[in-house]
Amino acid sequence: MSPDSGAAPAADRADDVLRLVDPAGTLNERAAAGMLDVTGELVRGLYRDMALGRRFDQEAYALQRQGELGLWLMSLGQEAAQAGSIRALRADDRVFPSYREHVAALCRGIPPAELLSQWRGASHGSWDPERYHFHIYSLVLATQTLHAVGYAMGVRYDAADSVVLTYFGDGASSQGDASEALNWAAVTSAPIVFFCQNNGWAISTPASKQYAGPLSERARGFGLDAVSVDGNDVLAVHAATRAMAERVRAGGAPGLIEAHTYRMSGHSTSDDPKRYRDHAELARWEAHDPVERVRLLLTARGWADEDYFATVASEAEELAARTREECRALPEPSLSDTFRHTLCEETEALRREREGFETYLESFL
């Protein structure tokens, strides 16, 4: 394995990877060319989303280490890819996430406790997808891409003008469902954006072992529109997603965005990335930290001062405290409820089984 086999920062990649802000926080000429109307308000908002998302992820990690969660899948390093994309959508645009889209979920207003519930073992999925237009997580890779395409077909039947966005990863792109979904979307012209967070690693398998040709080329082969972006540049992600979502909304071909980012933590709290990746790779990516880049931009432009950063930091601490508190207050799940939710109406057979279970429990009283 070469040290670069997992992923190289987008700076080292070809010019067709869209970037608006370099790692030193400088807007480039593409940004100046009006690709995006970059305002202080926009950048401050995205910075806040990313900073809160990072603090939340850090707190969830700590909660797992304290035994409050059974497992946590860290989003560290992927804040720009998620905040930049979700903020480019309308609130009624439906999102089908994979399982690491915590920053995007927070942006949609999903409460921290509901995000932690399934990792605590309190549920398999907690929030109401209708309320947040954000489906519950899918743990079997790429399955959600097909759900998203079907949902988008429904949007088209309804003659509605919302679009659907589905998140998946470099590992998931190897699944048959991903190819079926890309093809299906193209054939049906479903109003959908596929958003691949290529974070370099699928547990221990580098992206170079998932695909040899660029994902954007694969998407074009299916008949989709496709772009590659620097996934650690929140403005590039935002611009690309907004442009594609609006094109799809206006009836254009469905599309795919490949965001080159980096999973700065292990796959999960059970993982040990030291076993398979070089520390030097992580160090290279740390120089491309997505949150730091935006902080530098805000400072350089005079769009935010120390007071602003202090305010966001204190908001982040409040979120962390709320996350801790709500996590510990999550109700214990009830097996009896599972019987009731297996089918829309509890059948005679399910009722008998549930009553047998409850009678058994009562025998201990």
Partner 1 sequence: MTTTATTTTLGRALNEGLRQAMRDDERVILLGEDIAALGGVFRVTDGLAAEFGDRVVDTPLAESGIVGTAIGLALRGYRPVCEIQFDGFVYPAFDQIVSQLAKMRARSRGLLRLPVTIRIPVGGGIGAVEHHSESNEAYFCHTAGLRVVACGHPQDAYDMLRAAIACDDPVIFYEPKRRYWDRAEADLARPVDGDTLGHARVLREGADATVVAYGPAVAVALGVAEVAATEGRSLEVLDLRSLSPLDTTELCRSASKTGRVVVVHEAPVNVGLGAEIAATVMEHCFYDLEAPVERVGGYNVPYPPARAEGDYLPDLDRVLDAVDRVCAP
Footprint of partner 1 (CB under 8 A): 96, 123-126, 128-130, 135-136, 138, 140, 143, 145-155, 157-158, 176-177, 180-181, 183-184, 187-188, 337-338, 340-344, 347-350
Question: Whose CA is closest to 209, among 166, 174, 160?
Answer: 174
Strand 192-198 and strand 201-202: the pairing is unpaired
Q: Does residue 289 sit in helix, strand or coil? A: coil
Residue among 300 and 343 whose Cβ is closer to partner 1:
343
Q: How far is the CB of 266 from partner 1 (least distance, A)?
A: 25
234 contacts 294 by C-beta, under 8 angstroms:
yes
288 contacts 11 by C-beta, under 8 angstroms:
yes
Residue among 167 and 303 whose Cβ is closer to partner 1:
167
Q: Does residue 227 sit in helix, strand or coil? A: strand
Q: How far is the CB of 67 from partner 1 (least distance, A)?
A: 24
Residue among 50 and 178 whose Cβ is closer to partner 1:
178
Residue among 22 and 180 whose Cβ is closer to partner 1:
180
Q: Which two tokens stand for residue 15?
A: 């010019």
Residue among 7 and 181 whose Cβ is closer to partner 1:
181
Q: How far is the CB of 125 from partner 1 (least distance, A)?
A: 4
Residue among 177 and 233 whose Cβ is closer to partner 1:
177
Residue among 150 and 214 whose Cβ is closer to partner 1:
150
- Judged by phi (left if over 0) then psi (alpha if -120 to 50, else beta), residue 113 lies in alpha
How far CA 290 is from CA of 231, 256, 297, 303, in Å, comes to 8, 21, 11, 17
Q: How far is the CB of 336 from partner 1 (least distance, A)?
A: 12
Q: How far is the CB of 306 from partner 1 (least distance, A)?
A: 44
What stretches of 66-175 show up as alpha helix (H) in DSSP? 79-86, 102-107, 112-120, 129-132, 143-157
Q: How far is the CB of 259 from partner 1 (least distance, A)?
A: 23
Q: Give the bridge partners for 134, in sequence order.
A: 95
H or E segment and range at residue 201: strand 201-202
Q: How far is the CB of 197 from partner 1 (least distance, A)?
A: 20
